[in-house]
């Protein structure tokens, strides 16, 4: 797929630059061992800053040459515009229904038809981008911050803290995410803050696993030993030394989880425990109209469904391209 | 080998205990006052207290948890607060119907996704590979009710090939029942296809790049023999684990598909219970999903050990 293509396309420039400035090569014990510990620390940090900047610019160039990334970004930008300016773009008021036009098929006046309350489906699809694009990034951000902290602590300290929290993560993950979120949202009562907190917590546990694995690969490297010798605090080592070096996997986790968050919130809304009516929302609108499918009112569910599908596919195309570039 | 299985079994039991604690916490601690939740805001305080006493939720949490767990161990899953029936009489028939739907999805998805993954690997980097991978990624990321709705619009309403619900009228022949189950099974197939195909592709590529396959090609074996005897035998091993792991997620998808297609399985039972604040049914249903998932991963791990001679011999040493 696009991974190979993206890497092949830019193999020459990257390969030409990396051997000189490659950070991992400098972190190699044999290379660093030749210089005194204190001086070695300074040199390594200096080179790391310089090279990581180049590599990041290189990554951006690779991304901009990936068709999957570009298609995903265009679709995502369109929905972000809808979320920001939806009320202005929408041809009708998405909440107030017409008193004469119920369940009307798509026409010149209503491109996507009207629903059972006479509301314009196109307007609801446009404005429906708003709530889900507020809730899901916040939930994913909470999950990423939480998961990064848990993963850093687990991977850095190991031992009993690690094995106990690992078991807990296992237990939560023995259920499909949708079911865990469903159970907790039902118990707490559905609202936007509940959705953000519940999904953020569950994702935090999931993300902690990836971060932990990445931290385990870093913790025994020489730059950590150097920081310990300089008598840096554990917090400093975890967040200032290790964190920048595990940033790649965390970024990938964020984009991948954002896709899952949209999947989960849309599903919960469909089940009646996500975003609550009358706020325009794709999942809730489908839930509201799918029982009329037998009567042939397909436009009331098809257009919100296509909206959800386009958004999740867009996020996944972006996530997949970033993953291909960051984790080569 | 038996030692490994015992250890794995112990871990699964420990996870199960933790899982039961989490479910109990969500279902019995978080909702606060179940009597108030059932009777609504206008019931008298006295009525709420009496109901709470009847439900046993005014006792200390530890004792409530103990009653719940020991009940389950004796086959008593509690009493549904919406139907006033033992939860087990609702749950097990629903589970049976869900498994029937899941089975149809599995029978479709396993051969299809393995074929897709192996084809993608054999044509690595070419058009076939790219289209299979992008299709898989897109289908996997779309929620089941979204693809379900699109399928209903096209195949049930547009083309009229399949019924809109999954619920056959009583007395339908097994083949007729299958006709009702195919459309609901497809959204589940979509979500699983991407994962399994991805694993099958990765496994096949690894095998194709190995030295033993190069040797087999160099000694002049026909391509079909190399693929059948050398590539597939090695590449499908990790796929088995993924397939079993996906069972749990399949059941998660059932919640949505059964609601959309109005199919009286475990998933719809849980959603109905949630809508009626029937926490005993909800907790038991979620626990059963967890048990099915843990059981499936356990079987997958053991199967993997049994099928993979490398692990088998390491364990024996």
| B143 to chain A, closest Cα gap in Å | 6
Contact across the interface for A186 and B282, Cβ inside 8 Å: yes
**Structure tokens that stand for B209 in this block:** 């790049």
d(CA B185, CA B104): 6
Closest Cα in chain A, distance from residue B24 (Å): 10
* CB-CB contact of B144 with B193 (8 Å): no
Taking the C-alpha atoms of residue B251 and residue B269, their distance in angstroms, rounded to an integer, is 13
**DSSP letter assigned to residue B169:** P
Rounded to 5 degrees, what angle do the CA atoms B280, B266, B240 make? 120
Could you give the residue ranges of the DSSP H alpha helices within chain A?
2-9, 11-21, 23-27, 29-33, 37-64, 67-89, 121-127, 129-157, 159-173, 177-188, 192-218, 222-229, 234-236, 247-271, 282-289, 299-326
Looking at the complex, does the CB of residue A175 fall below 8 Å from at least one CB of chain B?
yes
State the Cα–Cα distance between residues B272 and B291, nearest whole angstrom.
21
User: Is the CB of A184 less than 8 angstroms away from the CB of B259?
Assistant: no
Q: How far apart are CA A9 and CA A321, in angstroms?
A: 13
Of the candidates B140, B149, B289, the beta carbon closest to that of A175 is on B289
Distance CA B272, CA B39 (A): 17
Residue B79 — φ and ψ, nearest 5°? -120, 130
Interface contacts (A, B; CB < 8 Å):
151
Q: What is the pLDDT of residue B313?
A: 54
Distance CA(A281)–CA(A95), nearest Å, equals 11
- pLDDT tens for each residue of A138-188: 999 999 999 999 888 888 888 777 777 777 787 787 788 888 888 888 888
pLDDT at B314: 55
List Cβ neighbours of A23 (8 Å cut-off, separation of 6 or more): A47, A48, A51, A52
Give the dihedral sign, CA B282/B286/B291/B292.
Answer: positive
Nearest by Cα to A272 from B282, B275, B257? B275
* Cα end-to-end span (Å), chain A: 14
Helical pair A2-9 and A67-89, crossing angle rounded to 10 deg: 110
pLDDT value of position A74: 94
How far is Cα B148 from Cα A298, in angstroms, rounded to an integer? 12
Most distant pair of Cα atoms in chain B: their distance: 86
- Phi/psi for A114 (5° steps) reads -125, 160
Q: How many CB atoms lie within 10 A of CB B5?
A: 15
B312: left (phi over 0), alpha (psi -120 to 50) or beta: alpha
Q: Which two tokens stand for residue B73?
A: 């161990």
Using a 10 angstrom Cβ sphere, with 0-12 exposed, 13-18 middle and 19 or more buried, the burial of residue A311 is: buried
What residues of A are in contact with residue B125 (Cβ under 8 Å)? 4-5
For the beta carbon of residue A194, count every other beta carbon within 10 angstroms.
18
Contact between A175 and B153 using a beta-carbon 8 Å cutoff:
no
> Is this structure's pTM higher than 0.90?
no
Is A247 an 8 Å CB contact of chain B? no
**Helices marked H in chain B:** 2-24, 34-39, 45-55, 61-73, 87-122, 127-141, 144-151, 174-208, 211-218, 223-225, 233-260, 266-275, 279-307, 309-316
Residue A298 distance to chain B (closest CA, Å): 6
Q: Which residue of B has its CA nearest to A313?
A: B138
How far is the alpha carbon of B207 from chain A, nearest alpha carbon, in Å? Answer: 18
* pLDDT band (50, 70, 90) for residue A49: very low
Cα A155 to Cα A161: distance, rounded to the nearest angstrom: 10
Q: Is 60 exceeded by the pLDDT of residue A6?
A: no
Best CA proximity match to B285, nearest among B38, B28, B47, B90: B90
* Chain B residues closer than 8 Å to A198 by CB: none
**Residue A181 at interface with chain B, using a CB cutoff of 8 Å:** no
Q: Which of chain A's residues have a Cβ under 8 Å away from the Cβ of B14?
A: 167
Chain centroid offset of residue B224 CA: 34
Residue A132 has pLDDT above 70, yes or no: yes
| DSSP secondary structure of A134-178 | HHHHHHHHHHHHHHHHHHHHHHHH-HHHHHHHHHHHHHHHTS-HH
* Contact assessment for residue B81 and residue B280, using Cβ atoms and an 8 Å cutoff: yes
Report chain B residues whose CB lies below 8 A from the CB of A132: none
Question: Of A100-104, A133-137, B267-271, which range is least confident?
Answer: A100-104
Q: Do B270 and A182 touch (CB under 8 A)?
A: yes
Which one of A270, A275, A285, A292 makes the best mutation probe of the B interface by having the most chain B beta carbons within 10 Å?
A: A270
**Distance between CA B168 and CA B163 in Å, rounded?**
9
Residues from chain A contacting residue B137 (CB–CB below 8 Å): 1, 316-317, 320
Which residues in chain A have their CB less than 8 angstroms from residue B16's CB? Answer: 171, 174
CB pair distance less than 8 Å for A259 and B18? no
Instruction: Report CB contact under 8 Å: A263, B252.
Output: no
**The pLDDT value given to residue A76:** 93
B151: chain A residues, CB-CB within 8 Å = none
User: Is residue A70 classed as helix, strand or coil in its secondary structure?
Assistant: helix
CB contacts under 8 A, A 36-75 vs B, are 68
| pLDDT class of A75 with cuts at 50, 70, 90 | very high
Helix (H, G, I), strand (E, B) or coil at A120: strand
Angle formed by the axes of helices A37-64 and A222-229, to 10°?
130
Alpha-carbon gap: A55 to the closest alpha carbon of chain B (Å): 25
Residue A35 has pLDDT above 50, yes or no: no
Contact A316 B141 (CB under 8 A): yes
User: pLDDT: is A243 or B239 the higher one?
Assistant: A243
Chain B contacts in chain A segment 1-40 (CB below 8 A): 1-2, 4-5
Contact B22 A301 (CB under 8 A): no
Put simply, the chain A residues between 286 and 305 with a CB less than 8 A from any chain B CB are 286, 290, 293-294, 296, 298, 301-302, 305
User: Do residues A324 and A66 make contact, with C-beta atoms less than 8 angstroms apart?
Assistant: yes
Instruction: Give the gap in angstroms from C-alpha B71 to the nearest C-alpha of chain A.
Output: 21
Report the sign of the C-alpha dihedral through residues A162, A167, A170, A171, in that order.
negative
Asked if pLDDT for residue A48 goes beyond 60, the answer is no
Tallying the residues shown for chain B, one arrives at 317
Q: Which two tokens stand for residue B51?
A: 């109901």
Comparing CA positions, the residue from A113, A79, A128 lying closest to residue A300 is A113
Distance separating alpha carbons of residues A12 and A27, to the nearest angstrom? 24
pLDDT tens-place string over residues A261-286: 998 999 999 988 888 877 888 888 88
Q: What is the pLDDT along chain B (317 residues), one digit of tens a residue?
A: 677 778 888 888 888 888 888 888 888 777 767 777 777 777 788 888 888 787 777 777 888 888 888 888 887 777 787 788 888 888 888 888 888 888 899 889 989 998 998 889 888 888 888 888 888 888 888 888 888 888 888 888 878 788 777 777 777 777 777 888 888 999 999 988 888 888 888 888 888 888 888 888 888 888 888 888 888 877 777 777 777 777 767 877 888 899 888 888 898 899 998 888 888 888 888 898 888 888 888 887 787 777 776 665 555 44
B27, B282 contact by CB (below 8 A): yes
| Chain B partners within 8 Å of A270 (Cβ) | 143, 145, 256, 259-260
Q: What is the ipTM of this complex?
A: 0.82
Question: What sign results for the dihedral spanned by CA atoms B30, B33, B36, B39?
Answer: positive
Instruction: Test A172 with B22 for CB contact under 8 angstroms.
Output: yes
List residues bridging with B86 in a β-sheet: B79
Distance from the Cα of A229 to chain B's closest Cα (Å) equals: 39
Chain B interface mutation, best of A8, A66, A182, highest count of B Cβ atoms under 10 Å: A182
């Amino acid at each position: 797929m696009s991974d190979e293509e993206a890497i092949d396309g830019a193999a020459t420039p990257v390969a030409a630059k990396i051997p000189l400035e490659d950070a991992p090569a400098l972190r190699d014990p044999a290379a660093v061992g030749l210089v005194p510990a204190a001086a070695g620390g300074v040199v390594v940090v200096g080179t790391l800053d310089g090279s990581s900047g180049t590599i990041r610019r290189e990554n951006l160039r690779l991304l901009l040459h990936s068709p999957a990334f570009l298609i995903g970004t265009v679709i995502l930008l369109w929905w972000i515009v809808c979320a920001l300016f939806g009320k202005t773009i929408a041809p009708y008021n998405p909440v107030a229904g017409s008193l004469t036009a119920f369940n009307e098929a798509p026409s010149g006046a209503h491109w996507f038809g009207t629903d059972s309350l006479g509301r314009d489906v196109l307007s609801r699809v446009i404005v429906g981008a708003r709530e889900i694009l507020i809730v899901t990034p916040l939930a994913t951000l909470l999950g990423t911050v939480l998961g990064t902290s848990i993963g850093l602590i687990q991977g850095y300290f190991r031992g009993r803290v690690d094995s106990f929290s690992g078991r807990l993560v296992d237990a939560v993950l023995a259920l499909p995410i949708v079911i865990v979120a469903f159970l907790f949202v039902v118990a707490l009562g559905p609202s936007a803050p509940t959705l953000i907190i519940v999904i953020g917590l569950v994702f935090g546990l999931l993300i902690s696993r990836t971060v932990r694995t990445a931290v385990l690969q870093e913790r025994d490297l020489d730059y950590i030993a150097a920081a310990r010798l300089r008598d840096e605090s554990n917090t400093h080592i975890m967040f200032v030394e290790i964190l920048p070096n595990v940033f790649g996997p965390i970024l990938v986790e964020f984009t991948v989880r954002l896709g899952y968050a949209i999947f989960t919130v849309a599903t919960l809304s469909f089940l009646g425990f996500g975003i609550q009516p009358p706020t325009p929302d794709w999942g809730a609108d489908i839930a509201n109209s799918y029982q009329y499918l037998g009567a042939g009112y397909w436009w009331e569910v098809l257009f919100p469904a296509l909206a959800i599908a386009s958004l999740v596919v867009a996020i996944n195309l972006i996530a997949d391209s970033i993953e291909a570039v960051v984790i080569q | 080998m038996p030692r490994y299985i015992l250890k794995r079994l112990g871990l699964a039991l420990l996870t199960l205990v933790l899982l039961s604690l989490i479910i109990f916490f969500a279902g019995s601690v978080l909702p606060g006052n179940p009597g108030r939740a059932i009777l609504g805001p206008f019931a008298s305080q006295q009525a709420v207290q009496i109901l709470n006493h009847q439900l046993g939720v005014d006792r200390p949490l530890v004792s409530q948890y103990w009653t719940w767990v020991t009940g389950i161990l004796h086959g008593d899953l509690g009493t549904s607060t919406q139907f006033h029936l033992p939860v087990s009489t609702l749950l097990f028939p629903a589970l049976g119907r869900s498994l029937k739907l899941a089975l149809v999805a599995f029978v479709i998805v396993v051969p299809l996704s393995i074929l897709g993954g192996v084809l993608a690997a054999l044509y690595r980097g070419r058009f076939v590979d790219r289209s299979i991978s992008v299709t898989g990624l897109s289908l996997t990321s779309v929620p089941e009710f979204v693809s379900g709705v699109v399928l209903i619009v096209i195949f049930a309403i547009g083309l009229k090939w399949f019924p809109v619900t999954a619920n056959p009228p009583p007395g339908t022949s097994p083949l007729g029942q299958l006709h009702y189950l195919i459309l609901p099974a497809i959204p589940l197939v979509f979500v699983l296809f991407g994962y399994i195909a991805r694993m099958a592709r990765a496994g096949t590529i690894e095998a194709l790049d190995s030295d033993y396959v190069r040797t087999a090609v160099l000694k002049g074996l026909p391509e079909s023999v190399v693929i059948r005897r050398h590539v597939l035998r090695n590449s499908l091993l990790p796929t088995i684990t993924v397939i079993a792991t996906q069972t749990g997620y399949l059941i998660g998808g059932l919640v949505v598909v059964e609601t959309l297609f109005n199919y009286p399985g475990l998933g719809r039972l849980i959603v109905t219970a949630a809508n009626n604040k029937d926490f005993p049914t909800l907790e038991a249903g979620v626990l059963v999903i967890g048990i099915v998932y843990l059981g499936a991963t356990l079987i997958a791990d053991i199967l993997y050990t049994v099928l993979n001679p490398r692990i088998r011999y390491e364990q024996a040493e």
